[in-house]
């Protein structure tokens, strides 16, 4: 069986803790690899490597750091098919979806290639009599990222690309469920010219995470995962004096107005609700049709589409989506469907008993569609993270705005309408961090920032875009005066520029 260790000091090293986790093939249910779970001492060694390598990397000028990123992009493009196959084999998402996962990470690397411009400070000549004022952006030192299973290429690149470009050293703790792609990305970065030790990948569980949270050498931590763990990491990291950004769960709504193009709305719901088996933090999990007629028409059109979803192994290029990541997660999602029935929601399409011939032991589940879901139900309040779409009927536009605005999560929301005034009002008023207009998954491009509100996001700065540069740097401001030979004397009042 293949053994996966860690990537420390520019090379893969074996685990030393004696603890391991199983990496499954979601298509077959078989264990395909064993991943090492680091002990505290192993994580500390990775931090030591990063701390030793960081000063020289920070002293490398931004243009040369950008060249490493450009070379990294070139190597990824050459290896993209192999990366996508590897990703699919451990996560279960289809090959085309895996390539999309990689591409969205690549776009942040492309943004990070502009680091010579992005790190420029400000300068004011003559801010006062003979006084110049300027600011500089400097790296923090050793920083870390803790990333989830559902995007094993994209989110690690969202984290380490801007951090490395800014001159930091980086410790990546990826999900132990699908660790091979992050390991391969580290290899490609070293091949691209990144000095050994500047990026270290340490696989592990809570012991590894807690070491990152408490070690004073780690100056900042980024996290993506569930809200309960995000809150824990934010609180613990902050208590230990670290800069922390954490992104948690979601319950993304899509409002369907009576004037919407219904076929367009249904296409959007099918893709955004069931793509990647619903294992996306930006998946639409709640449809909110406005008015009874809109709701009845939407349900009528959704049912046959959900029933006809093509579910297949990740190697099937014609599949709409593949298996879920583990049997434990599959069982969790099925339990939510059971709960929804008990709570009184109407299950219009039941995919719990789906079996794929030849892959009976795989982690597959058919699409589920609930109608008549109400805000007091747990299936509405909690993130399911599977191929389950809930329809919550709104009597009018005001109720449709209120539903996502009052929900505990505030990651993404969308409205489908032909009315520009309604769309403009909605985008202004809705209490959610990312909004789509006739666009179901409103993930901003790399030069904007990505981040949710409420229990979907903890911390002041978002992922990628300008916020990532602010997060991974500290600003130093210099006030300089060069004496002209005129004697002044002591000043006992606070300096002013009058």
* Residues 205, 257 within the same domain: no
Can you read off the two tokens belonging to residue 177? 């469920």
Flag whether 41 is in a domain: yes
Residue 1 confidence (pLDDT): 84
Is residue 486 scored above 90 in pLDDT? no
Output 405 or 495, whichever has higher pLDDT: 405
Of 113, 166, 246, 281, the active-site residue reads 281
Flag whether 442 is in a domain: no
* Residues 423, 403 within the same domain: yes
* Residues 200, 288 within the same domain: no
Can you read off the two tokens belonging to residue 328? 């434990």
pLDDT band at 130 (very low <50, low <70, confident <90, very high): confident
* Residues 68, 112 within the same domain: yes
- The number of folded domains in the chain is 2
* Residues 233, 261 within the same domain: no
* Residues 269, 376 within the same domain: yes
What are the tens digits of pLDDT across the range 342-372? 999 999 999 999 999 999 999 999 999 999 9
Instruction: List 458's β-bridge partners, or say none.
Output: 246
Separation of alpha carbons 321 and 312, rounded Å? 7
Separation of alpha carbons 181 and 187, rounded Å? 10
Flag whether 26 is in a domain: yes
Flag whether 491 is in a domain: no
Can you read off the two tokens belonging to residue 393? 């009927």
* Residues 174, 263 within the same domain: no
* Residues 234, 306 within the same domain: no
* Residues 284, 194 within the same domain: no
Active site annotation includes 246: no
Burial class (CB in 10 A: 0-12, 13-18, 19+), 189: buried
CATH at 264:
3.40.309.10
Residue 487 confidence (pLDDT): 65
Nearest to 219 by CA among 173, 163, 176, 175: 163
Q: Which residues, 6 or more positions from 394, have their beta carbon under 8 angstroms from its beta carbon?
A: 255, 288, 289, 290, 291, 400, 403
Whole-model pTM: value is 0.95
Flag whether 333 is in a domain: yes
* Residues 356, 215 within the same domain: no
* Residues 236, 344 within the same domain: no
Q: Contact at 8 Å (CB) between 279 and 90?
A: no
* Residues 283, 215 within the same domain: no
Q: Round the average pLDDT of the chain to a whole number and report it.
A: 96
CATH at 64:
3.40.605.10
Inter-axis angle of helices 62-91 and 180-191, nearest 10: 150
Residue range(s) defining the domain that contains residue 146: 2-248+456-478
Neighbour count for residue 279 (Cβ, 10 Å): 22
Residue 497 confidence (pLDDT): 66
Q: Contact at 8 Å (CB) between 360 and 401?
A: no
């Amino acid at each position: 069986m293949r053994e996966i260790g860690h990537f420390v000091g520019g090379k893969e090293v074996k685990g030393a803790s004696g603890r391991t986790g199983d990496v499954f093939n979601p298509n077959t249910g078989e264990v395909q690899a064993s991943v090492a779970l680091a002990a505290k001492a192993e994580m500390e060694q990775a931090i030591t490597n990063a701390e030793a390598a960081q000063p020289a990397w920070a002293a490398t000028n931004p243009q040369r750091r950008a060249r490493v990123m450009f070379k990294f992009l070139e190597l990824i493009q050459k290896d993209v098919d192999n990366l996508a196959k590897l990703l699919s084999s451990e996560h279960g998402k289809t090959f085309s979806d895996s390539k999309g996962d990689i591409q969205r990470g690549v776009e942040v690397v492309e943004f990070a290639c502009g680091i010579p411009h992005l790190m420029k400070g400000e300068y004011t000549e003559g801010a006062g009599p003979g006084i110049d004022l300027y600011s500089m952006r400097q790296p923090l030192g050793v920083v870390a990222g803790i990333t989830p299973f559902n995007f094993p290429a994209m989110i690690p690149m969202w984290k380490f690309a801007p951090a490395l470009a800014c001159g930091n050293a980086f410790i990546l703790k990826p999900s132990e469920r699908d660790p091979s792609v992050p390991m391969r990305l580290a290899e490609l970065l070293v091949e691209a010219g990144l000095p050994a030790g500047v990026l270290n990948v340490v696989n592990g569980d809570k012991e590894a995470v807690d070491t990152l949270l408490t070690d004073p050498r780690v100056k900042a931590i980024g996290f993506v995962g569930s809200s309960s763990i995000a809150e824990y990491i934010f609180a613990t990291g902050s208590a230990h004096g670290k800069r922390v950004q954490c992104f948690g769960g979601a319950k993304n709504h899509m409002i369907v107005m009576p004037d919407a193009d219904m076929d367009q709305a249904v296409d959007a719901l099918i893709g955004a609700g069931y793509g990647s088996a619903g294992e996306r933090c930006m998946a639409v999990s709640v449809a909110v049709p406005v008015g009874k007629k809109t709701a009845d028409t939407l349900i009528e059109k959704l049912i046959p589409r959900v029933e006809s979803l093509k579910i297949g192994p990740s190697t099937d290029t014609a599949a709409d989506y593949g298996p879920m990541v583990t049997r434990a997660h599959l069982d969790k999602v099925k339990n939510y469907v059971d709960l929804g029935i008990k709570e009184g929601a109407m299950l219009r399409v039941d995919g719990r008993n789906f079996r794929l011939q030849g892959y009976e032991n795989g982690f597959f589940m058919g699409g589920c569609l609930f109608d008549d879901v109400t805000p007091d139900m747990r299936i509405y309040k909690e993130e399911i993270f599977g191929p389950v779409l809930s329809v919550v009927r709104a009597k009018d536009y005001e109720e449709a705005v209120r539903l996502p605005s009052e929900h505990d999560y505030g990651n993404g929301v969308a409205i489908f309408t032909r009315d520009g005034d309604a769309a403009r009002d909605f985008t202004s008023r809705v209490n959610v961090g990312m909004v789509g207009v006739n666009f179901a998954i409103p993930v901003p491009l790399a030069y904007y920032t990505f981040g949710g509100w409420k229990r979907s996001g903890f911390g002041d700065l978002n992922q990628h875009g300008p916020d990532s540069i602010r997060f991974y740097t500290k600003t130093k401001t210099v006030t300089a005066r060069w004496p002209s030979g005129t004697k002044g004397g002591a000043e006992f009042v606070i300096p002013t520029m009058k």
